[in-house]
Homo-oligomer: A and B are copies of this chain.
Amino acid sequence: MKFEITILGSGSALPTLTRRPSAHFVNCNERYILIDCGEGTQLQLRKYKIKFQKIEVILISHLHGDHFFGLVGLISTMNLLGRVHKLVIIGPVELEQLILPQLSVGGAFLGFELEFRPLVYPIHQVVYEDNVLDITTIPLKHRIDTHGFIIREKERLRSLNKEVFDLHGLSIADIPHIRRGFDINLENGTVIPNAELTFPSEAPKRYAYCSDTVYRENLIEILTGVDLLYHEATFLNEHKELAKKTFHTTATQVGVLAAKANVKKVVIGHFSSRYADASQHIIEVKENFEEVVAAEEGMVIRL
């Protein structure tokens, strides 16, 4: 089971040559999802050799430019490259009418279905589901309506007990079936119970994406126990008043939240361009929570 997140942009409102605007690519068991799509995201996808035509769902947290100005260009490129299969875009209700006129004015004829699923703030519910995963919104509190997202895989496959598997001379073709938990019926009528063939699977993993938001205690319950929490840490503690005023979070606050929600790991990002690097952010988070990394373009985190 693959569940990995690639950071495409770790910066905030002002794109720079080192920190691009927000975009995370998620591969959950070969289901490709993009979260946010700041300007230049299509080139970041190319740079990190991600097959972006395989993206099935794009989630847009809110309508500040650093989270969606790259969406129209990505759709346009997908179309020019001959995409035919549907793309689902889940985001604020106004998004469709910001994107479609930019395409139609140029006479673009979309060769694929573009399904916009509007989010009307605030909601906390499942907004996407298939056989591999589901996606739940998290109401955040920013200057404008903003949702975070939790991507949850539905199941982890059981681990193969190779010794027992070899003992019975079973076929490799049976492995997916076995790992899903089925017993095996041999030709001689013997049934091998799955419990003998496999070890229990790990619990399904969850990845939570929270950007942009002011620090909110009421996120603790929603985030409790997630395997990876991405949380914005736009500011350092010394700018906590500015954070409050602009509805952003400090690194210290992320540490407090992560500890209270008992998450497994944290990645911070959306750093204000006023800071030369994120080393002080990490120190501040670690005052309350140890398992933290700072987002960097191209970083891949596996769950």
Which residues of chain A have a CB within 8 Å of any CB of chain B? Answer: 13-17, 39-40, 42-43, 46-47, 62-65, 69-70, 72-73, 76-77, 80-81, 92, 94, 97-98, 101-103, 105-107, 143-144
Contacts and interface: CB of A to CB of B under 8 A. Distances in A.
B73 A69 contact: yes
Chain A interface mostly helix, strand, loop or mixed?
Answer: loop
Given A40-B43, A42-B15, A76 B65 contact: yes
Given A15-B43, A46-B16, A144 B106 contact: yes
A14 B77 contact: yes
11 contacts: A13-B76, A14-B80, A15-B73, A15-B77, A17-B47, A39-B40, A39-B42, A39-B70, A40-B40, A97-B101, A98-B101
Contacts of A42: 15, 39
A208 to B, nearest CB: 23
Contacts of A13: 76, 80
* Residue of A16, A64, A73, A98 with most partner-chain B CB within 10 A: A73
A14 B102 CA distance: 16
Contacts of A77: 14-15
A51 to B, nearest CB: 15
Nearest to A68: B102
Given A15-B43, A65-B76, 6 more contacts: A17-B46, A40-B40, A65-B102, A69-B76, A98-B101, A107-B143
Contacts of A70: 39
A15 to B, nearest CB: 6
Contacts of A63: 105-106
Nearest to A102: B98
Contacts of A144: 105-107
A47 B102 CA distance: 27
Nearest to A74: B39
A75 to B, nearest CB: 9
A39 B73 contact: yes
Contact of A106 (B15, B65, B105): B65
Nearest to A40: B40
Contacts of A14: 77, 80-81
A270 to B, nearest CB: 14
B65 A73 contact: yes
The 4 residue pairs across chains A and B that have the minimum distance between CB atoms: A39-B73, A64-B106, A65-B76, A40-B40
